[in-house]
A = this chain, B = another copy of it.
Amino acid sequence: MARSGTAEQAGAQAPLTPRADFPLAGRSGYLLHKAALLLLEDVEQALDGIGMRSRYFFVLASLAGGPDLSQQDLSRLLSLDPTTVVALVDEMERNQHVERRRNPADRRRYNLILTESGREALAEADRVVTEAESAFFGGLADDEREALRGMLGRLMEGRWPASVCTA
């Protein structure tokens, strides 16, 4: 709180009284939490237009980085329960967006690889998500957005995505 004040007159016509004294609004932690919720809302809504959910997109995007991720890797990387990953990959395999291939070096694991069709789906989703994010971060100047990305990265240093290995 005590910041700016540029948006306070936004709802002037409506009989709403903005609560400048809302305690959580002064807490960096809750701001981060809430901002992430709002963004996720936007992304989810944008993806809904092409019949995809955010987690599906996250997996697609993760797999695009390399062919060597296992389901366990995804679980840790995206904070998903291993059980959830099984169901997700099942679905993606039905859609022919990914393939499970046994890792020859460790036959317990699968190497999850993106199919050509998966890449196309990712490309489309990527457009949609990028658009939603641009709108969300639109209020920030380019260098600010860069600074924000830097800070967020530093907050997670050592916790993510460093804990992921390519066996």
Contact = CB atoms under 8 A, between A and B. Distances in A.
Nearest to A149: B28
Interface stretch (A3-11, A84-92, A98-106): A3-11
Interface of A: 3-4, 6-8, 10-11, 14-19, 21-25, 27-41, 43, 58, 61-62, 64-66, 77, 79, 129, 132-133, 136-137, 139-140, 144-145, 147-166
Nearest to A79: B37
A41 B33 CA distance: 11
A32 to B, nearest CB: 5
A14 B36 CA distance: 32
A132 B29 CA distance: 9
Contacts of A17: 165-166
Given A21-B66, A32-B152, 15 more contacts: A4-B153, A6-B154, A6-B157, A11-B162, A16-B165, A17-B165, A18-B162, A24-B61, A24-B161, A25-B153, A28-B148, A31-B153, A34-B160, A38-B159, A139-B154
B32 A161 contact: no
